[in-house]
Amino acid sequence: MISGLTIAENAYLPLRDVVFQTLRQAILKGELQPGERLMEIKLAETLGVSRTPIREAIRKLELEGLVVMIPRKGAAVANITEKDTKDVLEVRRTLEMFAVEVACYRITKEQLVQLKEAAKAFEAAKGSMDVIRIAETDMNFHEIIYEATQNERLVQMLNNLRENMYRYRIEYLKDANYYDSLVREHEEILDAIETGNKEKARDCMRRHIDKQQLAVISKIK
């Protein structure tokens, strides 16, 4: 709900970026619910800012797909639909299955060490029950795999999907029952990469993302 929002303090960012990050985190955490209207005046009063940074933040959130503009009603938090989930994760699955296969024979020793550390960081983070922190460590694990492909175009394509994927990642990670299986899945992916087993790596990544898709869709229905 809008009334419960507080602005994130950050002396190093322009006010419009602080407002954007505050609203973005509120949407991702579920403090602002899908379908909830974002009224500029009320948001400005609640956060103690003018309407200008609110308007700019809403425009950026619309570009990320987190907000939609409804004719004669204004801005609202975008719903998570089954089709959107399937579309985004279908693209992610295709690209990450390819990325993990390439990483099997291009990953450097240094990147392999980083990947092991990232897997441990995710396991450590799950105990915090901080969904944003857990999501960041999960994202870091996958991004090391992207970088290990040594393919700048592929990395760019995956990074362009980053914000679209993030909402589904957060939605998945809200359920702590999945954490232990995610740790095991990361370990399986890591083992496949370390041993250069391309077939296993692709299969592990496919199952990893399929489980996320099924879990998110089950919440929608």
Q: Say what percent of the chain tops pLDDT 70.
A: 95
Q: Amino acid letter at 139?
A: M
Structural tokens at position 207: 């199952």
pLDDT, tens digit, 9 for 90 and up, residues 133-185: 999 999 999 999 999 999 999 999 998 888 778 888 988 999 999 999 999 99
CATH number at residue 86: 1.20.120.530
Q: How high is the pLDDT of residue 2?
A: 66
CA angle at residue 25 from 24 to 26, to 5 degrees? 90
Number of domain units in the chain: 2
Confidence at 9, pLDDT banded by 50, 70, 90: low
What range defines the domain where residue 56 resides? Answer: 2-77
What are the angstrom distances between the C-alpha of 55 and each of 7, 34, 61? 15, 19, 10
pTM of the model: 0.82
Evaluate whether 50 touches 90 at the Cβ level (below 8 Å). Answer: no
The residue written with tokens 């308007």 in the block is 55
d(CA 165, CA 88): 7
* Residues 133 and 205 placed together within one structural domain of the fold: yes
* Residues 95 and 149 placed together within one structural domain of the fold: yes
Q: How high is the pLDDT of residue 132?
A: 87
